[in-house]
Amino acid sequence: MEKFVDTQQDHFVNLILKLLSNDEPLDTIFKTLIEFFEEQNPNTICSILFLDKNKKRFEKVYAPHLPDFYNQALPHLDIGESAGSCGTAAYTGKRVVVVDIQNDPLWVPYRDMAKAANLAACWSQPIKAQNGEILGTFAIYYVEPRPPLERDIKTIEQAAHLVSIILKYFENRSFAQKAQERISLIYESSIDAMWLIDIEDNGQTYRFKSINDAFIAVTGLTRAAVLEKTVEEVLPPTSIPLVRAKYAEAVSTGHVVDYLEVAPLPAGVKVGQIRVKPIKDEKGVVTKILGIAEDITERKRIDDRLKESEADLIYAQHVAQLGSWKWEAKTDTVHWSQEIYNILNLDPKSGPLRFTDQSKLYTEESWNRLKIAVEEAMATGGSYEVDLEGRSNVKGPRWFVARGEVIEKDPQGRPTRLAGTLQNNTERKLLENNLKAALNARDEFIAVATHELKTPLTTLQLALYSIVKALDGEIDKDKLISRVEKAKLQGDRLEALIKNLLDVTSIGAGKMRLELKPDVNLSSLIQNIAKKYEYDLTKSGSSLIKNIEPNIIGLWDDFRLEQVVTNLISNAIKYGNGKPIEVHLRRSGQNAILEVRDQGIGISEDKQKKIFERFERAVSETSYSGLGLGLWIVKEIVTAFNGKVWVTSTLHKGSSFSVELPIKAQG
Ligand code: ADP
C-alpha cells in the first residue's frame, strides 16, 4: 500500500478506505477505482477482469466504459499464450504491453473486435494474490496506438496491487463475518443459557451486556431486567459471593472456570453447571466474561430421586433381611446388593462369591438341592425357591431362602441373565421349629394326660363297682368304709390332676390370680394335706416325718398353697423310693420356709433347673407316670406370692425342695 501512496493519490486512497469502512460492495469500489484511473489518464479506458475457478476464462468483468458487446464477449474467450493483452497476461502471469493492437500477433483473433470498440493499444498487468496465484488482470486501453511511459507502468502495477489488497480485505472480512455469524448462531440457538459480561471499575463491577434466548427461558428473567445491569441487580443475593469469586478467579487466572450454582430464580429453583471464560482485548487484558450454563435442575432431581429410591431399596432390603443378586452369562459376572453381604456376614470389599464358591456357605445337602434347582431353572428357563441351611462353622444366620429365575435368554433360548434374592430365614425357621416342637409336646402331653386321667378313673370305677356289689350282699361295715375311702382317694387324685391341667391353660394365658385371705394357717394346712396322703404313704412304704412349727399364719391364698404342698408331697412319695419323707415348716423373719425332703431317686444336676419348666421331666414316662406340670405350677404360684422355690438334690440319694414364702404375700 505504501508504494502506492503519494501526494497525488492521497485523496484517492482516503476515498477507497472510506468505501471499505462503510462496507460498500466490491462493485462500487472497483467502479470508483476505474473512474479514478480513467480521470488520471485522459483518453484511457480501464478494466478489471477476474478469472474463473479453473483459471481458463475471465468470469467477472469490471469495465464500465468499454462497449457492452465487448464486455459480453470477454467471458467467453479462453486465456492463453496469445489471447490479447489480458488473456495472455492472465495466462503467463506477466505484464503484457501491446502498443498497436492491429499489428500485434497476440491480438490476431480479436483485432476486429478491438477495432469495433475503437481500441488501439492495451497494457495489462496480472493481479496476483499474496501467494502468487493469478486472480485476474488490470488493463488500460488507448484509442490510439502508443507505448507506455515508465509512469504508466507504475500506475498499472500499483492498480493491480491495490485490487489484490482490496480482494484480500474482502476475503478476510467475509471470513470474519461468517465466523461472527456462526458464533451468533451458536449463541442464539444454544439451549444452554449464555451471557456476556463487561468487567468495569477495575473488576469491581460485572455488567450484563448480552444474553441469549435460552438465558431468558432458563431463568425466567426478562431482557430488560438483565441487560446493562450488574450481577448484583440481576442475580439472587445468595448467588453473589459465589459468582463474584468465580468471575474473579477467571479474570485472575485467565482460564475457564467451572462451578455449580443453585439459584432461586423467577423460573424456579435452578441448578446450573456453569462455565465462565475470560475474554481478553487486543492488549491482552481480560475485559469480558462469557458465561454458559447447562440447566441440570431436572437431571439433579432425577439423580436425587434415584439416590433416594436406592436408599429406600437398601433400607427395605435391610428390614426384610432380603438381598438381591444378578448374574450375567456373557461376562460371567455376579452382582450382589449390600444386604446379601450383610446376610452372609461377608465383607463387601471382597466382592460377590461365584456360584460354585457358594458351596462353602451351605450344608452339603442344602448345596446339592440348590445346585439341582438352579440347573433345572437354567434348563427350563423357569424359577426356583430353595430352603438352605448354612454351615454351622460359618458365622451369621443359619437358615436362608434362595429364590431365582431366568430373566433373559438369547435367541437360541439359552439363559443369559438370572436374577433372584437371598433371604435370612433363621428367625422364621426357629419359630417353625419351636412350633413343631410345641405341637409334638402337645401331642405327647395329650397322650400322657389321657393315660394319667384314665388310671385313677379305672381304679375309681372298680372301687365303686365293688361297693355297689357289696351293698347288694352282706357286707362288713369296716370293709365298706375302706372301699368308699379308696374310691374317694381316687376321686381326690383325679381332682388334683384336673386342677393341674386347668392351671396349665389358665396360668399359661397369664390368668393366675391370687385370692388373698388374712388368716391362712399354713401349719394346719400342711397337717391336713399330710393326712390325705396316709393311704398313699402306706402303699409306697414311706413314712412321713413332720416338723411343723404351729400357727404360721399369713396373708395367703389357701387354695394355691394347698396346690404347692400337695405337689411337693406327692412327688416325694412318687420319687421317694419308699424311704422316709420329711416335711419341715418354720418361720424365718418375715418368711415361712417349707422344706420337703426325700431319700429317693434324686435329680441329676443338669436337670435340676429344667424340671421347673412346663412339661419337663427328668424321668422316663414308662417308669414314673406324670405330666411334668406339678413343679411348674408350684413355681408359678410361689412366684405370684413373691416367694422362691429351689431344689437341692443328689442323684440316687434324694431331693430336698424348699419354698420361701413372704408371710404377707402381695397378690
Ligand atoms: P411329674 O412329676 O408329673 O413328672 P413335676 O413337674 O411334678 O411333674 O416334676 C417334674 C420332674 O421332676 C419329674 O418328672 C421328676 O423327673 C422330677 N422330680 C420332681 N420331684 C422329684 C423328687 N422328689 N425326686 C426326684 N425327682 C423329682
Distance CA 215, CA 237 (A): 18
Distance CA 186, CA 184 (A): 5
Tell whether ligand 1 has an atom less than 6 A from the beta carbon of residue 611: yes
Distance CA 523, CA 619 (A): 31
Fold agreement (190-318, 517-662):
no
Tell whether ligand 1 has an atom less than 6 A from the beta carbon of residue 654: no
pLDDT digits (tens, 9 = 90+) for 345-390: 999 999 999 888 999 999 999 999 999 999 999 999 999 999 999 9
Q: Pull the grid cell for residue 123.
A: 497494457
Distance from CA of residue 653 to its chain's centroid? Answer: 69
Q: Pull the grid cell for residue 211.
A: 444474553
Domain ranges of the chain: 7-166, 190-318, 322-424, 431-508, 517-662
Distance CA 537, CA 234 (A): 107
Tell whether ligand 1 has an atom less than 6 A from the beta carbon of residue 628: yes
Looking at ligand 1, which residue's alpha carbon is closest to its atom 25? 602
7 pLDDT exceeds 60? no
Element of type H or E holding 383 = strand 383-389
For the chain, the average pLDDT equals: 90
Tell whether ligand 1 has an atom less than 6 A from the beta carbon of residue 390: no
178 pLDDT exceeds 90? no
Best residue among 452, 574, 601, 631 to mutate for probing ligand 1's pocket (most ligand atoms within 8 Å of CB) is 631
User: Stretch 206-218: mean pLDDT, rounded?
Assistant: 95
User: Stretch 442-455: mean pLDDT, rounded?
Assistant: 76
* Domain 517-662 listed as CATH 1.10.10.520: no
Distance CA 648, CA 597 (A): 9
Looking at ligand 1, which residue's alpha carbon is closest to its atom 7? 630
Give the per-residue pLDDT at 513: 77
* 496 C-alpha to ligand 1 centroid (Å): 15
* 241 C-alpha to ligand 1 centroid (Å): 85
Tell whether ligand 1 has an atom less than 6 A from the beta carbon of residue 247: no
Give the per-residue pLDDT at 481: 85
Tell whether ligand 1 has an atom less than 6 A from the beta carbon of residue 572: yes
111 pLDDT exceeds 50? yes
Give the per-residue pLDDT at 575: 95
Distance from CA of residue 75 to its chain's centroid? Answer: 73
* 453 C-alpha to ligand 1 centroid (Å): 18
Distance CA 579, CA 464 (A): 31
Give the per-residue pLDDT at 408: 94
pLDDT digits (tens, 9 = 90+) for 87-101: 999 999 999 999 999
| Phi, psi for 512 (deg, rounded to 5) | -70, 115
Residues 6+ apart with CB under 8 A from 650: 602
* 627 C-alpha to ligand 1 centroid (Å): 9
Element of type H or E holding 328 = strand 322-328
Distance CA 462, CA 470 (A): 12
Give the per-residue pLDDT at 340: 95
Distance CA 488, CA 497 (A): 14
Residues 6+ apart with CB under 8 A from 279: 286, 287, 288, 289, 290
CATH classification number, 431-508, choose in 2.30.30.100, 1.10.287.130, 3.40.630.30, 3.40.50.300 = 1.10.287.130
Q: Which of 571, 591, 597, 596 is nearest to 641 (CA)?
A: 591
597 pLDDT exceeds 90? yes
Distance from CA of residue 345 to its chain's centroid? Answer: 22
* 628 C-alpha to ligand 1 centroid (Å): 7
* Across 34-38, 111-115, 215-219, 465-469, least confident range: 465-469
* Across 30-34, 499-503, 537-541, 556-560, least confident range: 499-503
* 516 C-alpha to ligand 1 centroid (Å): 28
Q: Is 276 helix (H, G, I), strand (E, B) or coil?
A: strand
Q: Which of 376, 351, 408, 634 is nearest to 507 (CA)?
A: 634
CB 593 within 8 A of CB 658: yes
Q: Is the dihedral of CA 346, 352, 358, 362 positive or negative?
A: positive
| Phi, psi for 471 (deg, rounded to 5) | -60, -30
Q: What is the CATH number of domain 322-424?
A: 3.30.450.20
Tell whether ligand 1 has an atom less than 6 A from the beta carbon of residue 445: no
Give the per-residue pLDDT at 666: 57
Give the per-residue pLDDT at 9: 66
pLDDT digits (tens, 9 = 90+) for 248-292: 999 999 999 999 999 999 999 999 999 999 999 888 899 999 999
Q: What is the CATH number of domain 190-318?
A: 3.30.450.20
Tell whether ligand 1 has an atom less than 6 A from the beta carbon of residue 598: yes
Distance CA 376, CA 404 (A): 11
CA of 596, closest atom in ligand 1: 23
Tell whether ligand 1 has an atom less than 6 A from the beta carbon of residue 600: yes
Looking at ligand 1, which residue's alpha carbon is closest to its atom 11? 617
485 pLDDT exceeds 90? no
Distance CA 427, CA 371 (A): 24
Give the per-residue pLDDT at 4: 46
| Rounded (5°) CA angle 576-578-581 | 60
pLDDT digits (tens, 9 = 90+) for 122-176: 999 999 998 999 999 999 999 999 999 888 898 899 899 999 999 998 888 888 8
User: Stretch 568-593: mean pLDDT, rounded?
Assistant: 96
pLDDT band at 425 (very low <50, low <70, confident <90, very high): very high
CATH classification number, 7-166, choose in 3.30.450.40, 3.40.50.410, 2.60.120.10, 3.40.720.10 = 3.30.450.40
* Across 307-311, 339-343, 497-501, least confident range: 497-501
Give the per-residue pLDDT at 509: 65
CB 181 within 8 A of CB 172: no
Looking at ligand 1, which residue's alpha carbon is closest to its atom 20? 571
pLDDT band at 665 (very low <50, low <70, confident <90, very high): low
Tell whether ligand 1 has an atom less than 6 A from the beta carbon of residue 626: yes
User: Stretch 465-489: mean pLDDT, rounded?
Assistant: 81
pLDDT band at 2 (very low <50, low <70, confident <90, very high): very low
Looking at ligand 1, which residue's alpha carbon is closest to its atom 21? 571
pTM: 0.46
CA of 617, closest atom in ligand 1: 14
Best residue among 563, 575, 627 to mutate for probing ligand 1's pocket (most ligand atoms within 8 Å of CB) is 575
pLDDT digits (tens, 9 = 90+) for 496-555: 778 777 777 777 666 677 889 999 999 999 999 999 888 889 989 999 999 999 999 999
Q: Which of 251, 249, 246 is nearest to 273 (CA)?
A: 246
Tell whether ligand 1 has an atom less than 6 A from the beta carbon of residue 601: yes
* 624 C-alpha to ligand 1 centroid (Å): 9
End-to-end, the C-alpha distance of the chain in Å comes to: 124
Distance CA 193, CA 296 (A): 11
Give the per-residue pLDDT at 1: 41
CA of 567, closest atom in ligand 1: 7
**Largest distance between two CA atoms of the chain:** 189
Q: Which of 287, 133, 128 is nearest to 202 (CA)?
A: 287
User: Stretch 472-490: mean pLDDT, rounded?
Assistant: 81
Tell whether ligand 1 has an atom less than 6 A from the beta carbon of residue 250: no
pLDDT band at 484 (very low <50, low <70, confident <90, very high): confident
* 618 C-alpha to ligand 1 centroid (Å): 7
Tell whether ligand 1 has an atom less than 6 A from the beta carbon of residue 631: yes
Tell whether ligand 1 has an atom less than 6 A from the beta carbon of residue 627: yes
Distance CA 558, CA 253 (A): 98
Classify residue 354 by its DSSP letter.
Answer: P
Classify residue 79 by its DSSP letter.
Answer: P
Q: Which of 250, 304, 193 is nearest to 242 (CA)?
A: 250
Classify residue 62 by its DSSP letter.
Answer: E
* 602 C-alpha to ligand 1 centroid (Å): 9
Give buried/exposed letters for 116-143 (b at 16+ CB in 10 A, else e). ebebbbbbbbbbbeeeeebbbbbbbbbe
pLDDT digits (tens, 9 = 90+) for 617-655: 888 877 887 878 889 989 989 998 999 999 999 999 999
Q: Is the dihedral of CA 474, 479, 485, 490 positive or negative?
A: negative
Distance from CA of residue 571 to its chain's centroid? Answer: 66
Helix (H) and strand (E) counts in the chain: 19, 22
CA of 572, closest atom in ligand 1: 23
